Amino acid sequence: MADITTLILNDHTWFRQQFARLDVLQSRTPPPIEALGKVWGPLAARLDVHALAEEQIFYPQLLRKGENPEAETLDAIGDHNDIRDGVHAAAGHLIGTPEWWQAVGQARLANDEHMGEEEREGLSDFRQHAPIGLRESLGRQFAAYLGAHPRTTGLDTSDKDPQAYVEGVEAGFDPGAAPTDGSLGIGSLRGRPGR
Ligand SMILES: [Fe+2]
Ligand SMILES: [Fe+2]
């Protein structure tokens, strides 16, 4: 039975390994486009799904149990947006082109910076302040979410307003609930009047 902070850490290790595989492929002449796609496709999907799983399962509980959760969560959602921006920019270019490498590099940089911070802040905070029973129960949910979403099909991977996300969770909105009319999803809260 795995603690959610361990599962998140495992994903981070996997991300680093996949970017290392891209380094090896990049060193070849000519660049093996098909092989690049086979590494990047699952990596891009997992970067998006991992961020969503954290936003639906980890950060709402960090906000309840953490010692300094608001600042950590605001940072994390902003970082997730930067990662998403890189991943989605890459999707707009042909694999192996300079523009694609630039977008992949942007996603990598944002992800590297974020993982270090998340490991040092949110994950550390949660290990110290959330009971092991909760961490394991969330670990089960996290694993189930990842298993149910090998791809991003059907998921809303758009950027979220960090402040609206935190306020939404604190107001009791379920970040995992699908919006019924486009107005109640956490990701849509930035559109509320007065914001
Ligand atoms: Fe993470
Ligand atoms: Fe994260």
Asked if the model's pLDDT at residue 180 lies above 50, the reply is: no
The percent of residues above 90 in pLDDT, for the chain, comes to 87
**Does residue 156 lie in a domain region?**
no
Q: What pLDDT, on the 0 to 100 scale, is given for residue 186?
A: 46
**Does residue 117 lie in a domain region?**
yes
Q: What pLDDT, on the 0 to 100 scale, is given for residue 120?
A: 97
Q: What digits encode the pLDDT tens for the residues 23-78?
A: 999 999 998 999 999 999 999 999 999 999 999 999 999 999 999 999 999 999 99
Which of the ligands is closest to the CA of residue 142? 1
Number of folded domains that form the chain: 1
- Residue 81 backbone phi and psi in degrees, to 5: -60, -40
Residue 82 sits in a domain of what CATH number?
1.20.120
CA-based nearest residue to 84, from 128, 123, 50: 50
Q: What is the mean pLDDT of residues 175-194?
A: 46
Peptide bond into 150 cis (omega under 30): no
Asked if the model's pLDDT at residue 192 lies above 80, the reply is: no
Distance 55 CA to ligand 1 centre (A): 10
Distance 167 CA to ligand 1 centre (A): 21
Distance 101 CA to ligand 1 centre (A): 22
Q: What pLDDT, on the 0 to 100 scale, is given for residue 176?
A: 67
**Does residue 161 lie in a domain region?**
no
Tracing tokens 């809303």 back to the chain, one arrives at: 156
Confidence band, pLDDT 50/70/90 cuts, at residue 127: very high
Distance 80 CA to ligand 2 centre (A): 6
Distance 7 CA to ligand 2 centre (A): 12
**Does residue 179 lie in a domain region?**
no
141: domain range? 4-150
Distance 179 CA to ligand 2 centre (A): 22
**Does residue 174 lie in a domain region?**
no
Distance 115 CA to ligand 1 centre (A): 6
Tokens (6 digits) for 30: 């000519």
Which of the ligands is closest to the CA of residue 4? 1
Distance 141 CA to ligand 1 centre (A): 15
Distance 123 CA to ligand 2 centre (A): 10
**Does residue 104 lie in a domain region?**
yes
**Does residue 193 lie in a domain region?**
no
**Does residue 194 lie in a domain region?**
no
DSSP string across 120-143: IIIIHHHHHHS-HHHHHHHHHHHH
Considering only 29-38, 83-92, 174-183, which range has the smallest mean pLDDT?
Answer: 174-183
Q: What pLDDT, on the 0 to 100 scale, is given for residue 181?
A: 42
Q: What pLDDT, on the 0 to 100 scale, is given for residue 173?
A: 80
Q: What is the mean pLDDT of residues 88-96?
A: 98
Q: What pLDDT, on the 0 to 100 scale, is given for residue 123?
A: 98
Mean pLDDT of the chain: 91
Distance 51 CA to ligand 1 centre (A): 6
Considering only 45-59, 125-139, 178-192, which range has the smallest mean pLDDT?
Answer: 178-192
Cα 149 to the chain's mean position, in Å? 13
Distance 126 CA to ligand 2 centre (A): 13
